[in-house]
Amino acid sequence: MRPAFSVIFLTTLIGAGQGLFVALYSAEFGAWLSFWAMPSAQYFSLGCVLVLALLGAGLFASFFHLGRPERAWRSAAMWRNSWLSREVIVLPLFMAAVAAYGLAHHLRGAGDLTLTLGGAGVALALLLFVCTGMIYACLPFLQEWHTPLTVINYLLLGCASGFLLSTAWAAVQAPALLVTAAAWTAGVTLVALVMRGAALVRDASLRPKSTLQTAIGVKHPRIAQKAQGFMGGSFNTRDFFHGKSFAWLRLVKWGFLLLVFPLPLALLAGGAALASWPVLAAAFLLQYLGLLIERWFFFAQARHPQNLYYQAIS
Amino acid sequence: MSKQLALVIDLNVCVGCHACVTSCKEWNTSGAAGFLSDDRPYGRDPTGTFFNRVQTFEVGEFPHTQTVHFPKSCLHCEDPPCVPVCPTGASYKRAEDGIVLVDYDKCIGCKYCSWACPYGARELDEHQKVMKKCTLCVDRIYDEHLPAAERKPACVMACPTSARLFGDVHDAESAVSRAIRDAGGYALMPEWGTHPANHYLPRRKTEITLHRDELERVDNPLKIDGKLPKPDVKAPSLDDSTTW
Amino acid sequence: MPNPTVTQTAAADSSVRSEVKHTTCYMCACRCGIRVHLREGEVRYIDGNPEHPLNRGVICAKGASGIMKQYSPARLTRPLMRKPGSARGDNQFEEVSWDEAFNLLQERLARIRATDPKKFALFTGRDQMQALTGLFARQFGTPNYAAHGGFCSVNMAAGMIYTIGGSFWEFGGPDLERAKLFVMIGTAEDHHSNPLKIAISKFKRSGGRFISINPVRTGYSAIADEWVPIKPGTDGALLLALTHEIIHTGLYDREFLARYTNAGYLIDTDPTSESRGMPVRDASRHEEIPEYPRNMLWWNRLSEQPAPCHQPEADPYLLGQFTLADGTPVKPAFQLLLERVKDYTPEWAEGITGIPAATIRRLAHEMGVTARDQKIELPIAWTDSWGTEHEKITGNPVAFHAMRGLAAHSNGFQTIRALAILMSLLGTIDRPGGFRHKAPFPRGIPPLAKTPKGPEGVRPDTPLAGLALGWPGNPDDLFVDADNKPVRIDKAFSWEYPLSVHGLMHNVITNAWRGDPYRIDTLMIFMANMAWNSSMNTMEVRRMLNDRDKNGDGAGEYKIPFIVVCDAFQSEMTAFADLILPDTTYLERHDVMSMLDRPISEFEGPVDSVRVPVLPPTGACKPFQEVLIELAGRLKLPAFVNADGSRKYRDYPDFIVNYETEPGSGIGFLAGWRGKGGEKFMQGEPNPRQWEMYAKNNCVFQLKLPPSYQYMRNWNKGYHEWAQRTRLRRHADPIVIQIYSEVLQKFRMAAQGRGTSKRRPPAHLAKRVETYFDPLPFYYEPLEAQATDTHRYPLNAITQRPMAMYHSWDSQNAWLRQIHAHNYLFVNPAAARAQGIADDDWIWVESMWGKVRCMARYSEAVEPGTVWTWNAIGKAPGAWNLAPGANEAGLGFLLNHLISDELPRPAQARAQGAVPGRPLSNSDPVTGQAGWYDVRVRICKAGADEAEQSWPQVAAVGALPGMDRVRNTWLAFVAGKKK
């Protein structure tokens, strides 16, 4: 597939936003369970502003994906069967929950209301992860995507990124939480590494179910396309081919593995030790860059069976 | 069972002339549903929206090579994966005749349906910014202003080798159903369970087997002109050595 | 509205609003019936006319893209003159009015006509009105007229017509409705288009077996049951080996050969006789028709003595040798054929063609056994030319089709003779299931049409004393002067190419430039891209078109002083014009597919058709027909003016209705609805409402002959009498198949210094004529290959046009060019790997004439000794009003740069009879057919540092005044709302 930048930004930005919200709520929940002191209202309310900013930016990016953005409202119609439609519904609901949660913290501070609103928000965040992940995971012939790992990784990578941001946020607003946040972040990130690794291992072992033989229904070991029917390209050649070499793809893979996992973790350790929010913020940005690359790779490595029909011109 | 309109494409007679490609373009670009745009029509890498393409494959190695011309358009799956993913309901399958259509007014151009189609049958119109695909010429086949014989998709009307058959594959007695049965019609990428309504008929080979004794007959003309060697009359024969 | 449930009503609305007009397609040479649907005055949709006998409702990719031709930005819309002071090729033009253009032409042409009419040359390309262009030339008085047949397929026409009196495509074809075995040999992609597609499909579906013999497996060959790859130019060897096998296994149709061919004619084999090699004649028998003598002899098998040929009560020996009463040793022609093919064994052919001997044998057996054992019998009684009544019509269901793959070689004529003879051996001529003629064929062998026989036929202010193109029957019919020098600029009908019945358009520019045989003044080109893909030596032609005299009286003048180009489109050629006349498209004019030319007849009988305008002309476009009628009137060409010199025809439609070949002949361009009220056909008085009647009848007139006239037309008494009555033919004599060609033998005898012809070839050509005018088919390597170091250039290179552009003139079509925007050289992977070439690599292709750089594409569907590409995709930058960066110019290429219009000089060609300074054309030595499939090449990988662009590149051509200069970045075609 050819990676679509609007979608890369959408999923990474809202993923970070969702993760951050989960982290914020965890902070409140932990405090409610008396594991630690309740952070300031500002930690929550401004944190929610941060979450909304990420979600808003993601939403904004998503419009670039649409041919007819003015009709975007129509996309909520098919919630009964379309994961995309569900995402479109859940995202604003989640944003509303985040806004309400932040507002409640701002106006009344932590309490039953925030606990309830936040709980709903977390549920929506998780649901949103499921919706986003399922958009890809539900397509059976994109074998690289068609696995629970897709949903799990959207969730874990979003959380890792959000938790990392929450650590930096804690360094600014709730220093007491810093070490705990860092520890949680490290934990989530490591689990994400395992699961992303698992997905990569799975991908490597995938054998395409569709072949030229099944694509055109001719049973012969040697089939080669000579003409795809047009020479100057079409939607099918523009949107489903990344056009990069295998070596480039491998480089990208190692690049994102490095940028998403060990490097931010190192910075996380340093930042937490130094209690330096700029180092932690850098860790987040570095990882976010890595996630952009990861998402690019997620698209690029998916081999769409339609590509069998678009192999040669002459 | 309800109706399922479909094309049956006979690879045994398709010569790859592209008549279906341009007749489709011609009908649909001027059709009621709006134009099919062409980018850089007179420039570098011209590209446009087409509902139908003819591809060419080579099967086997010289000298045992088959050249297969392969027309490809939307297969109007019985279980179309492109439909349920559509967030707006623009993509839909008609209950009454099984045609998979896109309502251009509802489409937001999110391309999700194209991701969900394993056959690459959908094309985003780069200027209307909506997803388009073969409609089986739904604006022809029910048009009562057309003579009954012409209520067929434009590609079917055009095809010089009549390699494209059109009809109801749910009606066991229809010409398309019979063709599928008789000629071993098959569906593309059966592994995905999409149950394409369109079917393809495979190449068939006619051969002549000759036996040696078929070559020469009693009426061989060479005998008339005395060209087959006759033995010398004087050469020994049974007559020379036997009495009865 | 796009909601399809709503769409239904919308469509209904639109079909109510749209208007449907019938006419005839011109997107290729096929000429199908079309329906043009118009909305708000614009074309909305073009589909096939279901009522039309040719295409029965279907349409091809080209036909369905006609809209994009009509609205092409390459349309010429104004008459244009080259700007004073600018050079040819600079592409500097200014608008002139039609009046100015006509005045200028009138002045110039009148001057030429009054002095030396042959200094005006009219050559046309994809001309579908040769009856009119030819008439104009003839009336003007110039012999210098031809269409593109000389480089298209004159070998096919001549080889077949000189043998069986008919040929493929417009003239006849395979009866696939009844055939059981169909053998297609050397047929490129889409020749001919829809009717053959319809027929092949039906044939395959009814279980017929289809064998394709071709170096390349594309197009129709793709669906063949068996593909037999063959090396280009070796088809003759295969056909002769098949003939060998069929004769030696006795699988020929003896009865057919004896009765309907000259196989049983006794040929004089006395080595000392003056008439050796000629059929023996019974001098006592009176000849009714001197052109077609019938007094040959058989050796009657029943009486064991010589007898007049074709007597119903006789049966000739086909084999053996006999001695006439006067002691003359004679052999039946078939015996000579048997002796000729004796050494043409399948093993011999295997080494030449690359086809295993066992395959050749099997093919021969399949053909022979199918023909013999699957006989067709139709319960149709008929009478043969000799009066014998037959209760039924029989046929042998083996059908052939062949085209340019056989024709475009310098050995093509003899190859095609071999094919026609093989078809005759199988007994498949004009019989059900075999080859069948289409009216006005069959013609006598040779047809009666003749050119003048010498320079006296060309006189000032006088029509040509004969036709510009004809069918020589003997050396005295040649068009040469007392010194044997050609009268025509292209040297057609000279000793170099005696039977060049379609002319040699590929020679015209070179000859006119060189002044060999003479210089001309004005060259008018209609619809031929001589400065690009219609020339074999493109770069040289471009140089010659621009070349000026260095010294002498006309120093500084162009060697071809004035060039008029008439076309609907800007092209590579228009840049070299002095005057450009904008033609209309096919949708904007009247036109006829005339019985006087190449109509669209069916097996069942004559069919002709018309075009009627469905749109007004664009800009100041004028149909070329109208240009000719106007010029003819202004020049007062006799057929176009009344006795008082006043103009006779108002316009082209008026001309078509009222013109008669001779006053009162009742024969005109159209055969349908003649007579005052349209009650007559084929022949009758002019009918003022003829156009209306055609328009009302789908623009087509079809006559179905009674079944008894539909077969065996070479020898069908009833048919001949009908044809004679309707003046389709002058004589009603039988057309006997020429297994042994008497015409060729007459030329050979002249070359040997004997025979009754007065003319003898010049010494340097005697050997050539003697060699190639063999009365029996033989195989020789194409002339260019003979003169090529084939170790250095081991590969054959050929081209064909893709189906979506076959025979199509406007290949810049916005839809079609998306299918083919540039081209590759297709190479068998084995051959490519041997040169270290990978799929998609940039490579050099080199012949002894030049080289091109292009991209390679691996293909398993090409014989390893052959490389090929799609023709006429490559374009000059900016030509056809494409953007200069268009793929056609940057990535596309022409193979023409590798091909020469002349044979190598001097040493090799001298063997063929070339004289220093006067090279021989790279053409068939019998017919002058351009040998553009003969080139030999080698390939190598292009350097890594070389540009990834095709080579050679030429200077860009710009848009012309009156052309749409706006470059649409995108296009949305909606009728009435064209963007």
Contact B56 A305 (CB under 8 A): no
CA distance A242 to chain B (A): 14
Chain C CB contacts of B143 below 8 Å: 8, 11-12, 15
Whether B149 and C208 lie within 8 Å, measured CB to CB: no
Whether residues C858 and A224 touch (CB distance < 8 A) is answered with yes
Residue C184 φ then ψ, to 5°: -110, 125
Query: Cα(A24)–Cα(A27) distance, rounded to whole angstroms?
Result: 5
**Chain A residues closer than 8 Å to B114 by CB:** 235, 239
Q: Least CA distance to C68: which residue of chain B?
A: B26
Does B49 contact chain A (CB < 8 Å)? yes
Supply the DSSP string of C487-538, one letter for each residue: SSTT-TTSTTSTT-TT--HHHHHHHHHHTSS---SEEEEES--TTTTTSSSH
Whole-number mean pLDDT of chain A?
96
Q: Between chains, do A77 and B116 touch, taking CB under 8 Å as contact?
A: no
pLDDT at C127: 86
CB A178 within 8 Å of CB A170: yes
* Angstrom distance (rounded) from CA C726 to CA C732: 11
The alpha carbon of residue A237 is apart from the nearest alpha carbon of chain C, in Å, by 14
**Above 70 in pLDDT, residue B225?**
yes
Cis bond leading into A208, ω under 30°? Answer: no
Residue of chain C whose Cα is closest to the Cα of A227: C819
Q: Which of A210, A233, A306 sits opposite B47 (nearest CB)?
A: A233
- CA B219 to chain centroid, in Å, comes to 46
Q: How near does any CA of chain B get to the CA of A4, in Å?
A: 11
Give the separation between CA C150 and CA C113, rounded to whole angstroms. Answer: 26
- Would you state the pLDDT for residue C808? 87
Residue C84, preceding bond cis, omega within 30 degrees? no
Q: Please, which residues have CB within 8 angstroms of residue A186's CB and are 6 or more apart in sequence?
A: A265, A268, A269
Q: What's the confidence (pLDDT) of residue C10?
A: 44
Closest-CA distance, B8 to chain C, in angstroms, reads 15
Contacts of C822 in chain A (CB under 8 A): 231
**Which of A77, A235, A309 lies nearest to residue B89, judging by beta carbons?**
A77
Instruction: Write out chain B residues lying below 8 Å of A78, CB-based.
Output: 84, 86-89
Helix (H, G, I), strand (E, B) or coil at C657: helix
d(CA A160, nearest CA chain B) in Å = 27
How much is the pLDDT for B229? 64
Chain A residues with CB inside 8 Å of B18's CB?
Answer: 229
Lowest mean pLDDT among A130-139, B53-62, B214-223, C864-873: B214-223
What count of CB pairs under 8 Å joins A to B?
A: 180
CA distance A226 to chain C (A): 8
For chain C, which chains pass the contact test of at least 3 CB pairs under 8 Å? A, B
* Residue ranges of B 141-160 with Cβ closer than 8 A to chain A: none
The DSSP element (H or E) to which C21 belongs, if any, is: strand C19-24
The rounded distance, in Å, linking the Cα atoms of A75 and A62 is 12
CA dihedral C16, C22, C23, C27 (to 10 degrees): 50
CA-based nearest distance C339→chain B, Å? 13
Interstrand relation of C398-402 and C209-213 (parallel, antiparallel or unpaired): unpaired
How far apart, in whole angstroms, are the C-alpha atoms of residue C913 and residue C910? 5
Q: Do A217 and B21 touch (CB under 8 A)?
A: no
DSSP string for C412-468? HHHHHHHHHHHHHHTT-BTSTTSEEE-TT----SS-S----SSGGG--TTS--SS-S
Alpha-carbon dihedral sign for residues B60, C362, C401, C382? negative
A231 touches chain C (CB under 8 A): yes
CA nearest C839 in A: which residue? A312
**DSSP calls for A141-185:** T-TTT-SHHHHHHHHHHHHHHHHHHHHHHHHHH-GGGHHHHHHHH
Contact A226 C887 (CB under 8 A): no
Contact call for C824 and A314, based on CB within 8 A: yes
Task: Give me the residue from A68, A75, A240 closest to B129, CB to CB.
Answer: A68
* C819 vs A contacts (CB less than 8 Å): 229-231
CA–CA gap between residue C921 and residue C504 (Å, rounded): 9
List all residues 6 or more positions away from B110 whose beta carbon is below 8 Å from its beta carbon: A65, A66, A67, A75, A84, B87
d(CA C840, CA B124): 29
DSSP string, B171-205: STTSHHHHHHHHHT-B-S-GGG----S-EEEPP--
What is the average per-residue pLDDT within B57-63?
A: 97
Alpha-carbon distance of B162 to B201, in angstroms, equals 12
Contact residues, chain B, for A76 at CB < 8 Å: 87
Spatial separation of the C-alpha atoms in residues C148 and C127, rounded to whole Å: 8
Min Cα distance B188 → chain A (Å) is: 6
- Choose from C800, C816, C819 for mutation: most chain A CBs within 10 A: C819
Q: A1 contacts in B (CB within 8 Å)?
A: 115
Three-state secondary-structure class, residue C892: coil
CB atoms B55 and A225 under 8 Å? yes
The pLDDT value recorded for residue C16 is 47
Whole-Å CA distances, C292 to C275, C289, C413: 18, 5, 22
CB count in 10 Å sphere of residue A10: 25
ipTM of the complex: 0.95
Chains touching B (at least 3 CB pairs under 8 A) are A, C
Of residues C134, C50, C747, the one with CA closest to residue C464: C134
How many angstroms separate the CA of residue A313 from the nearest CA in chain C? 9
Residues of B in Cβ contact (< 8 Å) with A231: 45
Closest in A82, A232, A309 to B120, CB measured = A309
Dihedral in degrees, nearest 10, Cα atoms B36, B42, B47, B51:
40
Per-block average pLDDT, block size 10, for chain C (979 residues)?
40 61 95 94 93 96 95 94 91 96 98 98 92 97 94 94 96 97 90 92 97 96 97 98 97 97 98 95 86 94 94 95 96 98 98 98 98 97 96 98 95 98 98 97 96 97 97 98 96 97 96 95 96 93 94 87 96 96 97 94 97 96 97 97 95 96 94 96 96 96 97 98 94 96 98 95 95 98 93 96 89 92 98 97 97 98 97 94 94 96 71 73 96 97 97 93 78 67
Does C822 reach chain A within 8 Å, measured CB to CB?
yes
CB spacing of B160 vs C219 below 8 angstroms: no
Chain B contact probe: residue of C7, C826, C867 with most B CBs at under 10 A? C7
For residue C730, give both structure tokens.
């002058």
What does the alpha-carbon distance between residue C343 and residue C363 come to, in Å, rounded to a whole number? Answer: 18
Closest Cα in chain C, distance from residue B69 (Å): 8
What's the CA angle centered on C309, arms C304 and C312, to 5 degrees? 85
Distance of alpha carbon C524 from alpha carbon A114, whole angstroms: 91
Q: Per residue in A14-27, pLDDT tens? A: 999 999 999 999 99
